[in-house]
Structure formats: structure tokens, C-alpha cells
A and B are shown apart, each in its own frame.
Chain A
């Protein structure tokens, strides 16, 4: 009876999850970094569904079939459910997540990726291109498609956070600090970005657009971009 009440939302959730594309959706990845995280999410999601059913099921059985659990000694319950099960699962999960996290870092590459600077001020982003002589500062972020780009994120006033959900996770822009995040768009196109850290009255509208260009067009596109 209790499970019947739990299952519909779960079914609803998984049905809608597979159909949640959107310009800011982390589940509609358009680059390797966001893709790796989306995979991690699906692994954790299904594992969580199973664990929830296990605990919810045990709870239901305790009430519906009194005495079913007596065959297992009391402390066995605690040791198996409280130590062994989470111990094994968490070790696997932490290892897997660390492996993914390590791969996403902006490691030094033989062919250093281009750098773009993202400077947050209340309440807009300014993108500049130190690698490209003569490039102006733009309100839209231009990147080449199909290759990694390192974004150097800084702030001119309060804490902001640079986030293009379809490409990668976020990194904070903290005044006085300089953070680097590696993003990559697999295909040319337009992607949406937001400021993720609350930064005052204009936080809501501190959005920006990312345009990924074919590599051969990139340089020209940056030079022609409207400031």
C-alpha cells in the first residue's frame, strides 16, 4: 500500500528525466565534460532508485509482514545495512567520481588549449581573448567547437559563478582569485550560460550566450564579434 504511493512519482520522474532536454539542461550534454557528469548522474540515479526501493520495501514489510525480519539477528541488520552495504557502495562511488573528476581537470596538454577570459561584474560577463591579437571584449562567449577551451574566470566585485550547463559544471568567479575551467562543445552551435551564485538584484538577468564555431572560422568570428 505504501509502495503504491511511492512508485508513481518515481515512474513519473524517470519518464520525464529522459525527456528533459532544454537550453540549460545538464541532462542534454553537448560536450565531454557535461556528458561524463550526466553519465555519473544516471548511474547514481538508478542506484538510488534501487536503494530507495530496498529501504522503503523493508519499511513496508516490517508493517505488512510482522516478524519477517526476526530470522536475521538484530545486530546483523545494523552491520549489514548500516556498515557493509553503504561501505561497499560508497567506496565504489567515491572512486568512480574521483576518476571522472580527475579527467575533467584542466591538465596541461601537449597542445595547450586556447584561453578565454571570463570576467564577471554586477551584472554581466565580459569575455576577452588574450590569444587573439586585436580581439575586442564581447558579451557573448566565442569558442572553437570540437576542442577543449580553458576559461579563466575572475570577478570585478562580488562572487559570481560561471555555468554553461550543457558543456560543463560551474566554477565561481571570486574577487582577487583566478579560476580555470575547461569546457568543450562537440559541435558548432549556440549554448546558454547563467550566473549561478547569487550576486544581488541583477543576478537573475546575468545570463550569457556561448557560440561555438567551426575551428577554421573561429579566429575570424572572434575578430568580427560585436563588442
Chain B
């Protein structure tokens, strides 16, 4: 295709805006644009932060004096459970997702994220899930077992109401949206960058987000699995955590903290990424130790998965085992110290200028260092056994999370708000707001170190006055209200900023990153044409680059066939690889999100048939996603500007969707590994073993593998047929028939199991078969999707992706099925061996 003559910047802008922009009014529900959705995520997260803050004020009101009668334990337990849940799951994680979604394409020189409809779907899931969780408070049935939901307290006999179900279903709903965001962030960073931006030239913020997103990919599945198992126990009596029937409360703690500890770094790293972006700007110098920081955060990511047991130093694990986790927990201070000193060195070797964002960076420094120091203290086993579950821990976690996330986010807000609004603040309310927040925070939480050392356990709703805690608590409460006033002032400042901020032309802070090489407020398409990165992406020159790109002098500075185009690159080198064609605004994510909410609500009220119908409707709606997008003909390399060409994404071997499947399967595999771990953990550690009855091999169990194997073979056959240019529909149909056969065999194998509510052994075996059943069912969906896409004309020998994805899914199902069945067959031997050893 030949290039049309270059348009003027204004006409180019109009042409791009027409196809990238989101319409007004109700059309806002169809938004899939990263700028729009990033802002929505952040605004929604801030609203949940405010609600969580109000809960904290109620908590402090109750604790201000001894014997307070403001609320009783029933309400108080909901208050602190909801405060933690809101701040962790509905504020921190979505806030960092929003920041990443808003910034990443702009920093990487792309026009959008890899899967804009998925971004929108994730947003709706988050919003609806959050509303369900918050609404539960209005009905007085909010979760009340604490934000880490320890069993058996959160199990049916001790929390019979709907409270715990709201947590398990609501949070899982939000977490699945977070997991999809993580997959999208990973793929977007790896594939959608400006040409020439090799991994080693990427801005540090993108590195931080890449590591964070990978941690989410491996950290969230254990929690999601744990929540599903606990909900299965609550709803259907499968005793995974019930110690009287072969389950174990400690399994929940392991699964929860296997997620819960990485979670802390998942929250901290994006904030640190913002700091690594902001500090060099105000130091007026490139960051010191670019490679050292990358090494540090990668090390941090690995270490963070090896120290979850430091939340469990008092559960009775042998001291020598604790020693390993204690050392690993202390070791984590090193990569953190590397970053702290890299930032200090950047300032020491730069020409620092002090502006409002740096005030908040200072707040981060002082608060976070204290949190880090108390963290090292808590990593020491004997000290932790005193301080654990006391207010010392409450103090520590607030120092780490507020220091490590809230202060950096405030700095980021003041740094990027001009980018969002195109205005700069004229009032300096930000300064008194800072001092109120900083002083209020320290007075509130520093006191809690002492309260904890003086023996106050966390989660008590009141206390007598003879323990010496009165003045400490009163001071904490009063200061808590100072802190709140600071946040109110911050919120007011933001409103004033929107209303009265003064416009500026370009690159307010003289930043050297690509996010400022565009008009601010940003246009929907971000870059009118895409930049080429020849040096380091943190040494860009937005002031000259911006006008050039707006004038269409970069790549893709035109509109073709009304398509939304951006460039896909080779992961490591950043060489141009393909033209990624992105979807236009559509209501489908909203519809799918609403249907998914139907699934969650129906399960919450135990209408399982209706839940199943909603689930089928949700998947049907996904088929419409599939129908909307694709290329109906092979077209070969197309022009991308500057006289170069690249093939469209459907015609390359590694487009974004392929990598999303790879990473999605890695997450899924992690969940499966957690299930295997659970089955073996219960066998090895749980009380009330051996089980009264042992699952033996049934005929149907033996047939599971041939069924899954043949389904996988049929998928391979279909792919081969298509690759040689022939119609693969017969083979796909055969594959779907085999999927159905596998479903029947798996159902019969499940029916042949002894009663799964009788003992955790039977329950885990049922869960393994259930996992395969679910994957065979989804395999059927993959096959149907491939079949329909072929029929719609989106598939050819050169555009084989749906068939490849179908094959990957079936291979994964086969491998996990193999492992699951192998474990079931090995269990009788394992149980016998352990009994013999005992």
C-alpha cells in the first residue's frame, strides 16, 4: 500500500482522534482507550481509598479511649476487615494498575495497551466487584474475619453468614481482573514499544512494571486457588481446611501468604518505579545505577516469593526452617537499600531542585526507611514472636505501605497531574497538605510501635485502662484526624487544580521521557506518529521530539482503513516486527463485565443454576469479542512510514495474543501447582489422616488420559491441516467431540469418587479432577472460537493464531490432567508409605 501525502498536524490530529476517541454521553461506556481507563482506575481507586479512610477514622474513634461504647465487636470486626480489604484490593492494586495503564504506552512510545478491550473489561469487573464488597457494609453483612481471612474462623461453622462469601467471591472477582491486567501489562511492555527501544533502553518505570506484573502473574494464582477452595468448603462442605476431616488451617495460611508477601512488593515496586522516574528529573541528572536497580528489583521479585513464612513465625514451624525464612527476609533489605542509595547518589551527583513532588518524595524517604528498619526487626524470629499480631506490626505495615506506596503516589500525583490536565497548580495548598499528612501520619503510627511493645494485640475493639495504653491510643486517634485533614486538603487541591490550574505549553518539569513528548492533556491516540529510540529512552528530548511526532514525522503518521494501528517490536532488541491492529470502542467489555457480575451475585446467593447460565452467557459474549476483530485477508507487509514495511499482527508468529496465552498459562500453571502443593501438604502435615477411605483407580480415571490426549492430537491435526492451506473445520469438530467425550469421562470419574465431603483426601482428588473438567470445558470453548473465526474468515494458513491458541490450551490441559491423574494414582502408595513411616 502506498502512503498518502503527509497531513498537516491539525488534520492528522482530527483524522486520528475520529477513530481513537471515545464518544460523549452513554458512549463513554464503550471506552477502551488506555488514557480514559487509566484515569478511571485511578479515580475509582481514590474513591475506595476515601471510603477505607473513613473506616479507619471510625476505628480510631472507637479506640480513642478505654471502654468506649461507640461500636461493639460485631461492627468493629467488619470495620477493620473492610479497611484492610479495601486498602489492599480495591485501592492499592487498582491504583497501580491505573498508573501503569495510563503511563506505559506513553513512556514506551506506543498508542495503547495490547488488549484495550481487556483493560475495559478489567475495569468493569473491578468496579462491580468493588461495589458488591462495599455495598455489603450497607446491609451490615460485610466480611468480618480480618483481611487475611484465617480459617477455621472464616469457615462455615464459625462464620455462617454471607460475610465471608462476599470476601471470597468479591475479592476473587477483583483479583481475576487484576490478573488479566498483569498479563496485559507484561505483554504490552514486551511487545508494544517504540522501534529501537531495546530492553536495555527501556525507562526504569517500565522495568519496574514488568517485574511487578510478572510477580502478579505468579503471586495471585495461589490466593485465587485458596479462595476457590475455601468457598467450595463453605458452600459444598469440601473440607480442605477443616482439621476434623483431614484439612488444615495452616494450608490457608500458606496459600494466603504465598500471595500476601509478594503482594507487598507488588504494591511497592510501581511506587518505586515512579520515584525512579521523578527523582532524576529533579536531580537534573540521569539515574545512578540503571543496571544495578534492574538487578535489584529482579532479585527482590525472586526473594519475595521465598519469605512468606515470616508471617507465620508463631504457628509452630521448626526453628531451623524459620531460620531460612528469617535470613531471606533480612536479605530483602539489600535490594531495597540498593535503590535507596541509588536515589541518594542521583541527588548527590545532580543539581537538585526542590519542587512539590520532591516534598512528598522526602516524606517517602523518612517514613519508608523507618518501615524498612522495623521490617528487619520483625524478620528476627524471637522478636517477631513478641511483636507478631501486636500494634507493633500495625505500625510497621502502615509505615511500609503508606511510606512505600501512598507518599510516592502523592508525589506521582503532583508530578503527573499536569500531564493529565494540561494545567499546573497555582495555589500551594500541596505544602500544608504535605505537612498535615506527614505529621499526622507519624504521630498516629509511631505511637503504635510503643502500644504494641506494651502488649496491645491488634484487632481488639476496646481495652481496659490499666494497661498503660490510654494516652498512646488517644494520641494516635487525634493524630489520625490530622492525617485525614491533610488528605482532605489534598483532595481539595486536586479539585482546585482542575478548576483553576494554569495552562502550560509542553514538558512542565523538563523531563527526559517520552510521556512528555505529546500534547498535554494527552490525545486519545497519544502519539500522532511513533518515535524511534536511538539512545536511551530516559535521555529523550520531548521538546524537539513532540512537535516532530505531532507533525507525523515518525512511524504510522497516517490513518489507514480507519484502523487503530501501533507497532509491535521484537521483545529484546526492539526491532520493528509487526503492525498491531487494536480494537475500536465497543460496549462488549461492559456487557461481559455485567454478565460476569451476574455470575458472582448468583453464586453469592447460592443460585447455582442461574450462575451457570450467566457463565455461559459471559462466554457467549466473548465470542462476540472474537467476531468483532480480525483481518479477513492475507495482505503481507504494509507500509509503516519512513519507507519501511511490516506485516500485520495476524501474520506473524509471535503477536501479543500468543504471548498473552503463554503468560496466562504460566499463571494458570501456578494455580495448578498450588493445588498439587495443597494435596501433598495435607497428606504430609494435616491432622486426621489417614482418610477413612482411599481413592483407588477407577476405569473412568484410566480413560481420562486417552480422552485428553486425543483431544490434544485433534487440535494438532487441525492446526496442521490449516497450515497446509486446507479447511480445518472437520478436525476442529472432531476435537470438540473429543472435548465432550473428555467431559463425560471426567464427570463419570468424579461420580465414581467416594463422598468428597467426608475427608480432605477425597476433596483434593475431586478438586484435581474438577480442574481438568473445567479445562476440558474451556477447551471446548477454544475449539468453538477457532471454528467460528475460521467461518468468519479470520483464519488462513498465514493467519493461524486461533488454531495455535486452541492447541496450546489442549496441550496444557493434557499435561495438567496427566499430573493430576498421576497424583491420584500415586496417593494410595503415598498414604501407605507415610503410615508405615509413622
Contacts and interface: CB of A to CB of B under 8 A. Distances in A.
A64 B292 CA distance: 27
Given A24-B467, A170-B386, A9 B344 contact: no
Interface in B340-369: 340-342, 344-349, 351-352, 354, 362, 365-366, 369
Interface string B299-323: 0000000000000001110010011
Given A24-B467, A41-B383, A48-B377, A63 B352 contact: yes
Nearest to B358: A63
Contacts of B77: 198, 200-201
Contact of B457 (A59, A163, A172, A176): A163
Nearest to A174: B249
Contacts of B338: 78, 82-83
A157 B152 contact: yes
Nearest to A95: B327
A171 interface: yes
Given A159-B153, A175-B249, A93 B243 contact: no
A104 B382 CA distance: 8
Interface stretch (B448-456, B557-565, B620-628, B762-770): B448-456
Contact of B380 (A68, A81, A94): A94
B244 interface: yes
Contacts of A174: 243, 249-250, 315-316
Interface stretch (A84-92, A108-116, A217-225): A84-92
A172 B153 contact: no
Interface residues of B, number: 91
B249 A90 contact: no
A31 to B, nearest CB: 12
Interface in A10-34: 13, 16-17, 20-27, 34
B330 interface: yes
A171 B460 contact: no
A101 B383 CA distance: 9
Given A23-B467, A44-B377, A198 B354 contact: no
Contacts of B458: 198
B381 interface: yes
A196 B394 CA distance: 13
Interface string A194-223: 111111111110000000000000000000
A203 B687 CA distance: 25
Interface string B379-394: 1111111111110000
Nearest to A6: B366
B285 to A, nearest CB: 9
A48 B370 CA distance: 8
A82 B337 contact: yes
A201 B74 contact: yes
Interface in B55-94: 73-74, 77
Given A25-B453, A170-B389, A62 B446 contact: no
A90 B336 CA distance: 13
Contact of B386 (A2, A34, A175, A197): A34
Contacts of A171: 314, 316, 385
Contact of A176 (B74, B243, B330, B340): B243
Contact of B334 (A21, A90, A197): A90
Contact of A13 (B296, B387, B446): B446
B150 interface: yes
A102 B319 contact: yes
A6 B243 CA distance: 49
Given A74-B345, A78-B289, A170-B314, A59 B152 contact: no
A159 B382 contact: no
B544 interface: no
A133 interface: no
Interface residues of A, number: 85
B688 interface: yes
A84 to B, nearest CB: 10
Contacts of A44: 376-377, 380, 383
A37 to B, nearest CB: 5
Interface in B661-716: 686-688
B382 A74 contact: no
A77 to B, nearest CB: 3
B344 A58 contact: yes
A134 interface: no
A78 B341 contact: yes
A101 B319 contact: yes
A52 B370 contact: yes
A90 B303 CA distance: 15
Interface in A162-205: 163, 165, 168-172, 174-177, 179, 192, 194-204
Contacts of A132: none
A136 interface: no
A207 to B, nearest CB: 9
Nearest to A200: B153
A128 to B, nearest CB: 19
A97 B383 contact: yes
Given A22-B454, A26-B386, A40-B380, A203 B459 contact: yes
A98 interface: yes
A52 B373 contact: yes
Contacts of A17: 450, 453
Which one of A58, A86, A102 has the greatest number of beta carbons of chain B within 10 Å? Answer: A86
A171 B382 CA distance: 11
B390 A56 contact: no
A105 interface: yes
A73 B344 CA distance: 12
Nearest to A49: B373
Which one of B316, B319, B390, B446 has the greatest number of beta carbons of chain A within 10 Å? Answer: B316
B389 A196 contact: yes
A74 B288 contact: yes
B817 interface: no
Given A70-B348, A170-B389, A23 B153 contact: no
A81 B326 contact: no
A36 B382 contact: yes
Contacts of B172: none
Interface string B244-263: 10001110000000000000
B597 interface: no
Contacts of A86: 333-334, 337
B348 A55 contact: no
A100 interface: yes
B153 A204 contact: no
A105 B319 CA distance: 8
B382 A169 contact: yes
A74 B335 CA distance: 17
B335 to A, nearest CB: 8
Interface string B455-469: 111111111001111
Contacts of A147: none
Contacts of A72: 345, 348
B830 to A, nearest CB: 20
B386 A83 contact: no
A158 interface: yes
Given A62-B352, A170-B388, A201-B77, A37 B249 contact: no
B685 to A, nearest CB: 9
A69 interface: yes
6 contacts: A23-B466, A37-B382, A66-B351, A72-B345, A78-B341, A81-B345
Given A170-B389, A179-B315, 17 more contacts: A2-B362, A24-B456, A40-B383, A41-B386, A48-B373, A48-B374, A55-B369, A68-B348, A69-B349, A82-B334, A97-B380, A104-B382, A105-B319, A157-B152, A161-B314, A201-B77, A203-B460
Give the 7 A-B residue pairs with the shortest CB-CB distance, closest first.
A24-B455, A169-B385, A69-B348, A176-B243, A176-B687, A82-B338, A81-B341
Interface of A: 2, 6, 9, 13, 16-17, 20-27, 34, 36-37, 40-41, 44, 48, 51-52, 55-56, 58-59, 62-63, 66-70, 72, 74-75, 77-78, 80-83, 85-87, 90, 93-94, 97-98, 100-102, 104-105, 122, 157-159, 161, 163, 165, 168-172, 174-177, 179, 192, 194-204
